Structure 1
Amino acid sequence: MTDTLIVIALLLTATAATAAALTRDPVRQAVVLALLGLSLAVLFTVLQAPDVALSQLGVGSAITPLLILLTVRKVNRRETQPQEGDDDRPDRAE
Structure 2
Amino acid sequence: MIWALDFALLLFMIICAIAAITVRDLLHATIILAAYSLIMTVLWSEMNAADVAFTEAAVGAGVTTVLFIAAIARTERRSSD
With the shorter chain as reference, the TM-score category is: 0.7 to 0.9
Distance in structure 1 (CA, Å) of the matches to 2:46 and 2:9? 8
What do the CA deviations read for 1:12-48 (whole angstroms, capped 9, x no partner)? 2112111112112111111111111111111112222
SS of 1:24 mapped into structure 2: coil
Pick 1 or 2: higher relative contact order, CA cutoff 8 A, min separation 6. Answer: 2
Matched, 1:47 2:47: yes
Q: Report 1:66-85 matches (<5 A).
A: 66-76=66-76
The letter of the residue matching 2:36 is: L
Consecutive unaligned residues of structure 1, counting only runs of 5 or more, are: 77-94
Consecutive unaligned residues of structure 2, counting only runs of 5 or more, are: 77-81
Structure label with greater radius of gyration: 1
Distance in structure 2 (CA, Å) of the matches to 1:49 and 1:11? 21
Q: Return the TM-score normalized by structure 1.
A: 0.70
Distance in structure 1 (CA, Å) of the matches to 2:12 and 2:53? 15
Identity %: 29
Matched, 1:65 2:65: yes
Over the aligned positions, Cα root-mean-square deviation in angstroms equals 1.6
Distance in structure 1 (CA, Å) of the matches to 2:9 and 2:48? 13
Q: Return the TM-score normalized by structure 2.
A: 0.79
Look up the match of 1:26.
Answer: 26
Shift in alpha-carbon separation, 1:8–1:47, aligned structure 2, 3 A: farther
